[in-house]
Structure 1
Amino acid sequence: MTLTTFDVQTATDALSAGTLTAERRQLLAADHLIALTRVSRTEPGTDADVQALALATAANLPVLLWGQPGIGKSSTLVQLARGLELPLETVIASVHDPSDFAGLPVVGADPAARGVAMAPPDWAVRLHRAGHGLLFLDEISSAPPAVQAALLRVVLERHVGSLALPEGVRIVAAANPAGSAADGWQLAPPLANRFVHLAWVHDPDVVVRGLGGTWPRIPLPRLDPERLEASVARARAAICAFLTVRPDYTHRMPTTAAARAGAWPSPRTWEMALRLLAFGYAADADLEAVAIAIRGTVGDGAGLELMAFLDRRDLPDPERVLAAPADVELPERGDLVHATLTAVVDAVARNATRERWEAAWHLIARLIRTVPVDLLAAPAMQLAALRQPEWEPPAHLDGLGPLDAMLVWGA
Structure 2
Amino acid sequence: MTAPSRLDAATELLTLLGAATTEPRPDIQLAALTVAVAADLPVLLWGEPGIGKTAALNQLADSLDLPLTTVIASVHEPSDFSGLPIVGADPATDGVPLAPPDWAVRLVRTGRGLLFLDELSTAPPAVQAALLRLVLERRIGALRLPPGVRIVAAANPRSSAADGWELGPPLANRFVHLLWTHDPDVVVRGLGGVWPRATLPVLDREKFPDAVAFARRAVCRLLAARPALVHQLPGSEARRGGAWPSPRSWEMTLRLIAFATAAGAGRDVLSLLVRGTVGDGPGFELLTSMDRMDLPDPERLLADPAAADLPERGDLRQAVLDGVVAAVQRQPERSRWDAAWALLVKAVETGPPDLVVVPATTLAALRRDDWDVPASIEKLAGTVSISRTADRAARAAARVAP
Q: Is the 8 A contact 1:127 1:169 kept in 2?
A: yes
Q: Is the 8 A contact 1:86 1:134 kept in 2?
A: yes
Indicate how the Cα distance of structure 1 residues 226 and 344 shifts in structure 2: closer, same or farther if over 3 A, else same.
same
Instruction: State the 1:42 CA deviation.
Output: 0.9
How many residue pairs get aligned? The number is 391
Instruction: State the 1:244 CA deviation.
Output: 2.1
Q: Is the 8 A contact 1:45 1:51 kept in 2?
A: no
Q: Is the 8 A contact 2:357 2:386 kept in 1?
A: no
Instruction: Determine if the alignment matches structure 1 residue 172 to structure 2 residue 160.
Output: no
Q: Is the 8 A contact 2:361 2:386 kept in 1?
A: no
**Cα deviation per residue 1:10-57 (whole Å; 9 max; x = unaligned)?**
xxxxxxxx523xxx5211111101111001111123111110001001
For the aligned residue pairs, the C-alpha RMSD in angstroms reads 2.1
Counterparts of 1:190 and 1:368, CA distance in 2: 51
Residue aligned with 2:387, SS: helix
Residue aligned with 1:301, SS: helix
**Cα deviation per residue 1:84-112 (whole Å; 9 max; x = unaligned)?**
11111101111111111111211212222
**How do residues 39-188 of structure 1 correspond to structure 2 at under 5 angstroms?**
39-188=19-168
Residue aligned with 2:300, SS: helix
Residue aligned with 1:347, SS: helix
Counterparts of 2:126 and 2:210, CA distance in 1: 43
Indicate how the Cα distance of structure 1 residues 382 and 277 shifts in structure 2: closer, same or farther if over 3 A, else same.
same
Instruction: Determine if the alignment matches structure 1 residue 206 to structure 2 residue 189.
Output: no
Counterparts of 2:369 and 2:155, CA distance in 1: 64
Instruction: Determine if the alignment matches structure 1 residue 19 to structure 2 residue 5.
Output: no
Indicate how the Cα distance of structure 1 residues 360 and 118 shifts in structure 2: closer, same or farther if over 3 A, else same.
same
Instruction: State the 1:382 CA deviation.
Output: 4.0
Indicate how the Cα distance of structure 1 residues 404 and 88 shifts in structure 2: closer, same or farther if over 3 A, else same.
same
Unpaired runs of 5+ in structure 2? 394-402
**Cα deviation per residue 1:171-197 (whole Å; 9 max; x = unaligned)?**
000000111000111111111111111
**Cα deviation per residue 1:360-404 (whole Å; 9 max; x = unaligned)?**
222123323444444233333444455556656555434433431
Counterparts of 1:383 and 1:114, CA distance in 2: 80
Output the amino acid matched with 1:170: R
Instruction: Determine if the alignment matches structure 1 residue 315 to structure 2 residue 298.
Output: no
**Residue number in structure 2 paired with 1:403:** 385
Task: Please say which of residues 375-384 and 133-142 is displaced more in the overlay.
Answer: 375-384
Residue aligned with 1:179, SS: helix
Output the amino acid matched with 1:304: F
Indicate how the Cα distance of structure 1 residues 357 and 255 shifts in structure 2: closer, same or farther if over 3 A, else same.
farther
**Cα deviation per residue 1:334-354 (whole Å; 9 max; x = unaligned)?**
122112112222333343333
> Matched residues, percent identical?
60
Instruction: State the 1:75 CA deviation.
Output: 1.1
Residue aligned with 1:368, SS: helix
**Cα deviation per residue 1:120-165 (whole Å; 9 max; x = unaligned)?**
1111111111111111000111111111111111111111122111
Counterparts of 2:254 and 2:55, CA distance in 1: 29
Q: Is the 8 A contact 2:211 2:262 kept in 1?
A: yes
Indicate how the Cα distance of structure 1 residues 152 and 383 shifts in structure 2: closer, same or farther if over 3 A, else same.
farther
Counterparts of 2:189 and 2:86, CA distance in 1: 51
Indicate how the Cα distance of structure 1 residues 406 and 213 shifts in structure 2: closer, same or farther if over 3 A, else same.
farther
Indicate how the Cα distance of structure 1 residues 388 and 246 shifts in structure 2: closer, same or farther if over 3 A, else same.
farther
Residue aligned with 1:291, SS: helix
TM-score for both structures, normalised by structure 2: 0.91
Residue 283 (structure 1) aligned to one of 263, 270, 278: 263
Output the amino acid matched with 1:54: T
Indicate how the Cα distance of structure 1 residues 398 and 83 shifts in structure 2: closer, same or farther if over 3 A, else same.
same
Residue aligned with 1:126, SS: helix
Residue 308 (structure 2) aligned to one of 322, 328, 333: 328
Indicate how the Cα distance of structure 1 residues 335 and 165 shifts in structure 2: closer, same or farther if over 3 A, else same.
same
Residue aligned with 2:307, SS: coil
**Cα deviation per residue 1:244-289 (whole Å; 9 max; x = unaligned)?**
2332222222222222211111111111111111111212222321
